[in-house]
Amino acid sequence: MSGIAGILGKPDQARIARMLDQQAHRGPDGRGIWTATAGFGLGHVRLATVDVEGGGQPLANEDGSLWLAMTGAIYNHRALRQELEGRHTFKTQSDAEVVLHLFEEHGPACVERLDGMFAIAIWGEELGLFLARDPLGIQPLYWGEDDEGNLLFASEIKALIGETNQVREFPPGHRWRVGEPMEAYEQIPAHTGELTDPDQAVLTLDRVLNNAVRKQLAADVPVGCLLSGGLDSSLITAIARQHVDDELHTFAVGLEGSADLEQARRVAEDLGTIHHERVLTEEEVTAALPRVIDALESCDPALVRSAVATYYVSELASEHVKVVLSGEGADELFAGYDYLTELESDAQALGAELYEITAAMHNSNLQRVDRMTQAHGLEGRVPFADQAVVDLAFRIDPFLKRRDGESKWILRRVAEEYLAPGIVWREKEKFAIGSGVAPLLEGYAAEAVPEEIFNQERSPKGIPFASREELLYWQLFRERYGREDVLALMGRSRSLNQGERWVGAL
């Protein structure tokens, strides 16, 4: 993935270096800074997963008229390279250089040809600055201005909070060129629900998921799978097993005796993976909270809970691989959350809710996967967030997603071809609950936040906190990011505990 930082205005190398320092975890394999004489500077920290030896950034085109830095992975870069090779001289085998030459030929429209996750910055003296972000916002991008009118951008909020007056999020599926209006080039498709035949839906979803997993396994470094033992991660791992001829490593964490550890072992044994697990202690879980919230850039209770487990499983995985596949996105696309029961008799309402929470994933679960994996120099890839999977999911009838009280019914039908029935039809359990982290943190907050403080404290909206846990996370978040502009960027989960719809004070 990597991280980027840049300044349009006064290209201060020391300032760019400070922004890169705040994101150094995103790029353990290299760093570069380039500045132009015409008022622009660009920086990059690199996590090398494609063209490990030769793919450093920022990089220039043949005559040096364009410079690029990007984060992410372009899964169709080899096919695009074949189109471009007769007309361009390539210096590297990287996907980033493909994007640069594609921009030379198609300009801002080049992003419509990209299949992958990305945040892109391109600069040229005649062009000015061009920025773009992938349609679902899998890769982060933020920007803001300082007192002197310089425009700064970076991959993480923490790189900008000390440099700009207000941090804003660059919206997913948009592109922008300096001096021109922001433009939406691709959005989440409308939820048509036109695919109503379950057998056809199963066959199509199976094919599209296989394509997504297959292409996201491509890398020049080892790739593994995060495996909680739940439906989503187990299905991704099972499909990956079909496309990996040699060793496949899987990773799980949880408290001693937790359901996730037990189920993950079972799935790993069935699939024949090389399985790694870490048994967490109560002290490790609670001690990680300041680090997790700092890395996460959020204090949303549901996100923090699951981020703790993701933080530790990413640390474990980083000892063995550089890329992992994860099961995030399935709950949003296929109606996995418990609170959605209240909507399952109304297809239109259910479809609208799924659309809304999918569109918000960039500052909820996708943000969690990005920040927690990158905190350990690991690249997280999310096949369920593949554009073809998303497009198909919104063509499937919502009544095939929740059916007879069963969440993700159509996805379970696909999984029957790959997994044992006890995994396929296992009741949905949130990652933080299955790993044992959620109940532990809930109890810890009850002891850590005195009743007197809980009764006195108010959220920035002036209302009481919904729980001691919410207040505890806010206190840690406030120390680092307690500005109104940063709080406004935070996603708000609707689901915290089983059987309830969460409404917090923030």
Q: What's the CATH number for 198-488?
A: 3.40.50.620
Q: Give residue 72's pLDDT band: very low, low, confident or very high (50, 70, 90).
A: very high
Secondary structure (3-state) at 220? coil
Q: Are strands 223-226 and 59-60 parallel, antiparallel or unpaired?
A: unpaired
Greatest CA span in the chain, whole angstroms? 71
Q: In this predicted structure, what is the pLDDT of residue 304?
A: 97
Is the separation of the CB atoms in 96 and 48 below 8 Å? no
Rounded to two decimals, the pTM is: 0.95
**Model confidence pLDDT, tens digit, residues 392-422:** 999 999 999 999 889 999 999 999 999 999 8
Q: Is the pLDDT of residue 380 over 60?
A: yes
Domain assignments of the chain as residue spans, ordered by start: 3-184, 198-488
Phi, psi of 37 (to 5 degrees): -80, -15
Which tens digit of pLDDT belongs to each residue from 309-339? 999 999 999 999 999 999 999 999 999 999 9
pLDDT tens per residue, range 151-183? 999 999 999 999 999 999 999 999 999 999 999
What is the DSSP code (8-state) at residue 45? E
Residue reference for tokens 């708000």: 492
Q: In the prediction, which pLDDT does 50 show?
A: 82
Q: What is the pLDDT of residue 82?
A: 93
Lowest mean pLDDT, pick from 217-226, 376-385, 472-481, 490-499: 490-499
Strands (E), 155-288: 168-169, 174-177, 183-184, 223-226, 249-255, 274-280
For residue 356, CA distances in Å to 90, 349, 360, 493 come to 41, 11, 6, 12
The count of other CB atoms within 10 Å of the CB of residue 401 is 26
Bridge partners of residue 253, in order along the sequence: 278
For residue 36 the two structure tokens come to 């132009």
pLDDT (tens digit per residue) in 2-52:
999 999 999 899 999 999 999 999 999 999 999 998 799 999 999 888 878
- Which ranges in 26-76 belong to alpha helices (H)? none
* Other Cβ atoms within 10 Å of 289 Cβ, number: 20
Angle between helices 301-318 and 437-448 (to 10 degrees): 120
Q: Tell me the C-alpha distance between 17 and 28, whole Å.
A: 14
Burial of 484 (0-12, 13-18, 19+ CB in 10 A): exposed
Using 50, 70 and 90 to split pLDDT, how confident is the model at 431? low
CATH architecture for the domain at 3-184: 4-Layer Sandwich (3.60)
pLDDT, residue 37, reads 80
For residue 239, give both structure tokens. 């499909």
**What is the DSSP code (8-state) at residue 190?**
P
SS3 407: coil
**Angle at CA 82, nearest 5°, toward 140 and 72?**
10
